[in-house]
Structure 1
């Protein structure tokens, strides 16, 4: 059996999984790990192999040292690069700009092109690039594949992709709606026709990736028609710490009246807003406990979250014209019964009916939670971006 090593490199951490591309969405990977607090005095490497966890605490000076040590720990457990047959290394890259609409084999030129896109994703692409360079140095004989979060949305209709901003300015600075979570939305939208037994070429659906970061997408016969995130992952739905859509005039108002700098506003909107800014927590389990305790701030935060979610669902119903399925995925979407029920409450006139008993079932399997007579089918589909990356790497390297 051959495996794909999937790497998601962040600025101070590296997540990785060893994945069989032939596995199902709900199968556990053979091994997974997290190198955390890179560059800090006290870091750690967490390894899970077939459900058995281990942790080593040490100073992780840089990405190179962290990944090399992680591979040594995997080797010691019999699942490292020296024991297993890897057919490729798949790398998550957040921003592909207008350049990348498909996975690509990484070489020096591709590295340079990813580097050129850093101004569009200054927090993410440099870290992704660090992981690529380190992994290519350690595993030079394997093909390395870049899979881009934005790729699925690369060919959206111009009416959805472009902003009503001066053409020359937009062209010069590559301003458009790129969208994110694309690997997840594509994966989910491919699973839905299988669950429903429908032809994917004749399925119109709304996919909802609801985690700490959250986004919605309208998918028409397998192609993205619209998505909630924009030039950056700040736009769209209310998120754990991000505002989602706001009047851009708020930025000017804060700069003029509060004398806040661009960097201060950036931190405010990305890290101190959303559910956390409204209620003080960004974990929905903690938010639910606060609501149950009668906390008014938590209740308000939840209602703002649901209101914005319903706005996007409604707008995508109009864009698609006919909706065959609405699907919830990611941490909140897969686990929060109330969010699913409230997001689609009182929509029977549009053919949307959730079955309360089906909705209450906890399961790791893809499942339908709508009633039998619901015209629009409502589903919960666990997303698996690592499996999707492994499958794309396999398609590119193995044909």
Structure 2
């Protein structure tokens, strides 16, 4: 048995893939949407999971089921075989990820009920970042309050950062344990991670995925006092501020558009707000590159991944332009080449290699699941 069934459950959706470990390819996959919504013929995740299993068909030898879980808190540093106690801990951690963990649990419970004789494994977005040292994950607030309410940096996109960094080492033909890398996961959600010898040593997202880079609808880094100002002077309550920073900020807040392709097109047509948004987006990326270069004490590679990072040559060049003094350069011809393969886009002999590496979180989840069972 070499196939792992990978499940990524949302509040009203089930995204799934059947991954063959020997070939590293997806045998089949799909997305069930609008579960439980008005007008939908799928009442709940139990029905949705049955539709998925009907699609998979009978007679498949599935090694295990791998579940993406967004928040593992401090409890989960490795992929973990799911039992009732693990389910309960994932549920308890929902207070740290109220939009994600409850939805992940819906898929876990439906799949465990439908496939009771197969091992189920939770793979956590936060797990890769459990190698952060206290100096990197501790916020400078009242220590007892922080301990009581689990307030610290956790980081996210961990499966992507792990997969991409390992793949980059393979492309470079160098030992993973000897490389210092900065991975830029640039999509509608975006994060950057400093990786030293295969260990995450710093990452831009924090207690939640709100901190860090400018994203499609999230503000990223912001002075915490802005929250007080909005409460006192704009009359917004806590929930309204939460919605503002998570759902109405970032590119959307700056331009009215949350898709980078639309923002880029508007900027090219002379839209000043869109051009400013691109400059803010770029400024934040370079801020983190400089900070993580210093934290790592050197740098072997910068890696682009995710929707924008993999597909937008202009923004890759714009993000790294003017960093030649740090040994970071992009070869224009290599950068413009469109490919689904992992590749180097820096010039031969560059002090820091620049790569584009398509992420494959489903394959990483499948591999981590297999490592447990």
Give TM-score scaled by structure 1 length: 0.92
Report the Cα distance in structure 1 between the residues aligned to 2:131 and 2:22, rounded to whole angstroms: 28
Corresponding position of 1:33: 30
Corresponding position of 1:3: 3
Gaps of 5+ in 1: 44-58
Instruction: Give the CA deviation at 1:118.
Output: 1.0
Corresponding position of 1:53: none
Instruction: Give the CA deviation at 1:2.
Output: 2.8
State how 1:92-171 maps to structure 2 within 5 Å: 92-171=68-147
State how 1:146-295 maps to structure 2 within 5 Å: 146-295=122-271
Please tell me whether the aligned partners of residues 2 and 84 of structure 1 are also in contact (alpha carbons under 8 angstroms).
no
4+ runs deviating over 4 angstroms: none
Report the Cα distance in structure 2 between the residues aligned to 1:84 and 1:283, rounded to whole angstroms: 39
Deviations 1:329-388 (A, max 9, x none): 000000011111111111111111110000000000000000012100000000000000
Secondary structure of the 1:30 match is: strand
Report the Cα distance in structure 2 between the residues aligned to 1:218 and 1:69, rounded to whole angstroms: 41
Instruction: Give the CA deviation at 1:83.
Output: 2.4
Report the Cα distance in structure 1 between the residues aligned to 2:248 and 2:320, rounded to whole angstroms: 28
Give TM-score scaled by structure 2 length: 0.98
Instruction: Give the CA deviation at 1:278.
Output: 0.7
Instruction: Give the CA deviation at 1:208.
Output: 0.7
Corresponding position of 2:61: 85
Match of 1:65 among 41, 44, 47: 47
Corresponding position of 2:345: 369
Deviations 1:9-64 (A, max 9, x none): 1111111111112334xx4x111111111111334xxxxxxxxxxxxxxx211111
2:17 is the alignment partner of 1:17: yes
How many residue pairs get aligned? The number is 373
Secondary structure of the 2:155 match is: coil
Match of 1:352 among 328, 348, 356: 328
Report the Cα distance in structure 2 between the residues aligned to 1:230 and 1:241, rounded to whole angstroms: 17
Gaps of 5+ in 2: none
Pairwise CA RMSD of aligned residues?
1.0
